[in-house]
Structure 1
């Protein structure tokens, strides 16, 4: 038989454990996302925070380096479905025991729901009802090479349906409830009845506004900038997401391939033979020296290291490839032909 004092002490320890978990800064707080955040939402939040607190951008800043480590630790857990499930149920202690057990699911330590079930008579919590979500809206967004090279932002006009109050009431959150009716001595009949709540009626209204889309340096075709819950709304559910899918717009001087840039430069026949001094203007207006002191063959390609596109979330850059086109004269006089023969043998 358990003494009342021992029972109370155990309850206090259990509550202390719970409050410790609650008071600690959660991984969701670290990434600044809600507990029910989607995988894409977690990935997006991580990318933004990792870019902000990256050691390359915060050299010598110990606080920023500490935040960067916390962000990576939180993302490592929340991006893994198994670890995230363990963390949601048992917290960091559960993750430690999970690792100590070699990743096996058994022996997860104290189950908080079981503790409260012992003292307050509650069973395990029901699985959270799945929330209906509206359609995602995907927009192809042409970004200039300049914005993809330096970073930039675009203002985009967006029109969407918005739910507004309307006259009258409507049925919502309808559900089937099961009950039993006695039809005789020791005889019961199972019945099902639909129960609905009465809510304010709503209607869709078309509204528009400008949205600022941030283009990050080095983004690739197909990457998305996501505005959560800015997609199509749905009655009694959450709106979908608005996704801007990046597409590189054609450029008049450069062509992009992955993280490299390609361009074509035309030189004269004399320059091809004797060399030349020449610069080209880059996407941010800095000059790249593409001069040559030797002979340049038609269609020759030269690489200029580190003059390509920046890599996303990195200080590194791709390369620039220059193809030289040689402009030949359309005609020569007899005197010019003789001189060329004399020089070239």
Structure 2
């Protein structure tokens, strides 16, 4: 009986681990779980243009990472645009797809095929313009400023924001829709014709705007720069007979009492006494994640001296590297000294040529 229970527990644990490691295809495409096929298609198009490996400038490792992300996006699109696969995924996740025989990988060569369907050509050439789509009217984008701390940008954090937005809902009756101008040719007499333009519309179910409250999770990733924009496609202002605008989350970094960010580096100031500047000191500063950085020295520290600590800066966004930390030292001189202290200082340093030296202007 006990081996059977142990086997069941192991199976449950394995299922939990697989679930924890599973990727969220909706999150990869940055769309809600209720997204329509049209929303999925538009989201894929935008992300594919942004993440295609041919557009990535960097070393082989960075290009390889970009190719993996692009393949994830393409595989998520492939699954979510297939009605049967999407039902299986929504209910059972990637494990369900594996049982279905479709696999839970990144889609392999399918990414190139999907990209070609949109833009023509493969990874070697974009071929833009070969399959241009008619431009669809789009609602206004909504820009929201999100204030984040330097700790959030160092460690990463998930924010939950509540947004009041307009939503298009069905309403009673019919309305004129998809209106367009049509050129009409009419005979007005023998061998005489005239042309004029008239508006032609279709009859569509009526709609109305209603206001709803919605909660969104904003994922701030480690190393995102100040001013970075996180885009939620199709979450902006709606437009009847058009596409919904986008929601743009603009990150604004709040001032930090200790550190100043400079690109991927961090700057800070440390004040030491004159005695510490002369004989050395032990000192540590607490970093943004709580770990300690030793900044002390056994040597002499000059006023305004800057010391460099490699790898102690900010995470570099979407990379495994980190920037550096620069510490500027300020020496706090005493405001006054006694006559006895003056005599002692002259006795100690008066005969030392280094102390008597004058810098040339």
Aligned residue among 141, 154, 161 for 1:149: 154
Contact 2:260 2:267 in 1 (8 A): yes
What corresponds to 2:266 in structure 1? 261
Aligned equivalents of 2:107, 2:197: Cα separation in 1: 54
Matches within 5 A, 1:1-345: 34-37=40-43, 40-42=46-48, 50=65, 67=106, 74=112, 88=118, 92=122, 128-178=133-183, 190=195, 192-345=197-350
Closer/same/farther in 2, CA of residues 225 and 44 from structure 1, 3 Å limit: farther
Determine helix, strand or coil for the equivalent of 1:41. helix
Gaps spanning 5+ residues in structure 2: where? Answer: 1-27, 30-38, 57-63, 70-104, 351-361
Closer/same/farther in 2, CA of residues 144 and 206 from structure 1, 3 Å limit: same
Give 1:91 deviation, angstroms. 5.6
Give 1:157 deviation, angstroms. 2.5
Closer/same/farther in 2, CA of residues 53 and 41 from structure 1, 3 Å limit: closer
Determine helix, strand or coil for the equivalent of 2:346. helix
| TM-score, with length taken from structure 2 | 0.63
| TM-score, with length taken from structure 1 | 0.66
Determine helix, strand or coil for the equivalent of 1:264. strand
Contact 2:43 2:233 in 1 (8 A): no
Give 1:254 deviation, angstroms. 0.2
RMSD: 3.8
Contact 2:161 2:216 in 1 (8 A): yes
The number of residue pairs the alignment matches comes to: 269
Contact 1:134 1:233 in 2 (8 A): yes
Gaps spanning 5+ residues in structure 1: where? Answer: 1-30, 55-65, 79-83, 109-124
Contact 2:45 2:118 in 1 (8 A): no
Contact 1:134 1:237 in 2 (8 A): yes
